[in-house]
Amino acid sequence: MSRVLVIGAGGVGSVAVHKMAMNSGIFSEIHLASRTKAKCDAIAESVKSRTGVDVATYAIDADDVSATTALIGKIQPRLVVNLALPYQDLAIMDACLNTGVDYLDTANYEPRDEARFEYRWQWAYQDRFREKGIMALLGSGFDPGVTSVFAMWLKKHKLKTIRLLDILDCNGGDHGQAFATNFNPEINIREVTAPARHWEQGQFVETPAMSNKQMFDFEGVGSKNMYMMYHEELESLAKFIPEMERGRFWMTFGDEYIKHLTVLQNVGMTRIDPVTYNGVEIVPLQFLKAVLPEPASLGPTTKGKTNIGDIATGEALDGSGEKTFYIKNICDHEDAYAETGNQAVSYTTGVPAMIGAAMMLTGAWQGEGVFNIEQFDPDPFMDMLNEQGLPWTVEELDGPLQF
Ligand code: NDP
């Protein structure tokens, strides 16, 4: 019996729950809890009509450790899948410790008052999880998640070492809105406006946000401007691929997105410190989130594809010298919407969350303590990507990126 509790009923939670219902041999009972129960009910209704599977729903404020502990105690799942926001990570990990239940998430903890993406807060749970005999799997989305599994697959099957690694994340989708973000706007804007950081010669090098721009021709999308930025998997990849000389992360943004973001930043709307408005304290970025389109609402109108992958250079396993491989997935927004009612950014995160959960529930990945996705055998996860709607390809390139 593999009873699972999913917390968070946004786009990612919706995709994960739909895909769990489509794999009822692994996920025999699905429970969904979130701050707004109506969102859980809407997902349960969609899952029922698409798959015939029932999903039990609950309201929960996951910042409240004792309420979450009580809910987990009542449901008694084998695994809690945290698809709420990064702010809730530690509170949900505490509730898992209180109840002795395994934990999985897709984004590392961030304090609300500081845009810092670091694993140290969650890695600090290592001893407590090990002593309790439970497992936490961190970062089981696409990036972080699949991009790290891609790197480890290359290290297992193609390259003895990875000297250079570039992660390229392109969303070539068009949602028809002047400005919207494809996942939670608050988290997205905090990430994009933070200084860029890349790994070079054993340390992180910081540069101003969006200051390194390059053009790249993405298969299925075309030529796009991409910007170097910090992304949390660089920290775990630097740890688990110790020989890596340089690791960088790139994401594409359209000119319209940059124009709107620049204005919002210039007028102070992306600030995360409270300001007083009419005698009430508000955080400008949280207010901005409230007026922007909900990412889940972009599904019906988004057309185009995402293309996310890794370009890795290192010593070939077969002894043939240094080689470069490009491994990637291309996902179509309209296909993702037809299958689960959500666009591809939610789809490419929710499917790997389901697969990570399947790895834990089937025993393919086991352990006691806190683990990053790089620490497990990539093969069963890569097989499920092919079977579950995120097929990948690998090709050899002439050499690393020329910039
Ligand atoms: P959404 O904002 O669409 O959904 C978040 C959900 O969490 C909402 O249903 C929200 O409830 C709920 N929630 C927020 N706070 C609480 C709380 N205190 N208690 C209970 N529920 C709460 O986000 P997404 O679905 O787009 O993203 C979900 C997660 O996935 C995020 O952590 C995001 O960073 C991560 N992500 C990871 C990616 C990856 O590739 N690794 C890519 C994209 C996203 P309400 O509706 O009431 O606000």
Distance, CA of 378 to CA of 357 (rounded, Å): 14
Domain, as residue range, for 8: 3-138
Domain boundary among 104, 138, 172: 138
Residue 127: CATH number of its domain: 3.40.50.720
Instruction: Decide: 156 and 378 in contact? Cβ < 8 Å.
Output: yes
Res 1: pLDDT: 60
Q: What is the pLDDT of residue 183?
A: 80
> How many whole angstroms separate alpha carbon 253 and alpha carbon 188?
12
* pLDDT tens, residue by residue, 309-344: 999 999 999 999 999 999 999 999 999 999 999 999
To test the pocket of ligand 1, the residue of 106, 108, 168, 192 to mutate (highest count of ligand atoms within 8 Å of its CB) is 106
Dist CA 247 CA 197 (whole Å): 10
- Residues 260-314: pLDDT tens digits? 998 999 999 999 999 999 999 999 999 999 999 888 788 899 999 999 999 999 9
Verify that 133 and 159 share a domain, yes or no: no
Q: Which of 84, 113, 138 is the last residue of a domain?
A: 138
Asked whether residue 372 is assigned to any structural domain, the reply reads: no
> Which DSSP helix (H) or strand (E) runs through 283?
none
Do 200 and 160 belong together in one domain? Answer: yes
Name the β-bridge partners of 214. Answer: 226
Residues with CB under 6 A from ligand 1: 7-13, 34-36, 39, 60-63, 83-86, 88, 106-107, 141-145, 183-184, 187, 295-296, 346, 349
- 158 and 278 belong to one structural domain: yes
Q: Which of 17, 18, 31, 35 to mutate to test the pocket of ligand 1 (most atoms within 8 A of CB)?
A: 35
Q: Are residues 71 and 31 in the same domain?
A: yes
Contact 197, 234 (CB under 8 A): yes
Please indicate, yes or no, whether residues 76 and 205 belong to a single structural domain of this protein: no
72 shares its domain with 154:
no
Within a domain: 386: no
* Closest CA relative to residue 346, chosen from 83, 21, 39: 83
Q: Which of residues 119, 138, 157 is at a domain's end?
A: 138
Tell me if 366 is assigned to some domain: no
* C-alpha 255 to ligand 1 mean position (Å): 26
Atom of ligand 1 nearest to the CA of 88: 18
Judgement on whether residues 194 and 67 belong to the same structural domain of the protein: no
**CA nearest ligand 1 atom 8, residue:** 10
Question: Nearest residue CA, atom 4 of ligand 1?
Answer: 10
The minimum-distance atom of ligand 1 relative to the CA of 350 is: 30
Residues 195 and 242 in one domain: yes
> Structurally, how many domains does the chain consist of?
2
Angstrom distance (rounded) from CA 361 to CA 72: 17
Is 145 in contact with 355 (CB distance < 8 Å)? no
Same domain, 49 and 198: no
Q: Which atom, in ligand 1's list, is nearest to the CA of 91?
A: 18
384 domain-assigned: no
32 CA to middle of ligand 1, Å?
13
Please check whether residue 330 lies inside any domain of the structure.
yes
Cα–Cα–Cα angle for 206, 208, 213, rounded to 5 degrees: 105
The pair of three-digit structure tokens given for residue 82, joined into one six-digit string: 């945290």
Residue 315's contacts (CB-CB under 8 Å, 6 or more residues apart) are: 159, 160, 161, 163, 321, 322, 323
- What is the per-residue pLDDT for 112? 84
Flag whether 379 is in a domain.
no
Identify the pLDDT of residue 192. 87
Q: State the distance from the centre of ligand 1 to the C-alpha of 9, rounded, in angstroms.
A: 7
pLDDT given for residue 298 in this prediction: 87
**pLDDT given at position 332:** 97
Per-residue pLDDT of the chain (403 residues; tens, 9 = 90+): 699 999 999 999 999 999 999 999 999 999 999 999 999 999 999 999 999 999 999 999 999 999 999 999 999 999 999 999 999 999 999 999 999 999 999 999 988 887 678 899 999 999 999 999 999 999 999 999 999 999 999 999 999 999 999 999 999 999 989 899 888 888 888 888 889 999 999 999 999 999 999 999 999 999 999 999 999 999 999 999 999 999 999 999 988 998 999 899 999 999 999 999 999 999 999 999 999 988 878 889 999 999 999 999 999 999 999 999 999 999 999 999 999 999 999 999 999 999 999 999 999 999 999 999 999 999 999 999 999 999 999 999 999 999 9
Both 313 and 177 in a single domain? yes
pLDDT of residue 168: 98
- Determine how β-strand 196-200 pairs with β-strand 246-252: antiparallel
Quick check: is 170 in a domain?
Answer: yes
CA distance 192 to 49: 37
Residue 350 within a domain: no
CB of 398 closer than 8 Å to CB of 387: no
Q: Looking at the structure, tell me whether residues 178 and 130 fall in a common domain.
A: no
Do residues 198 and 290 both lie within one domain?
yes
Domain holding 264: CATH number? 3.30.360.10
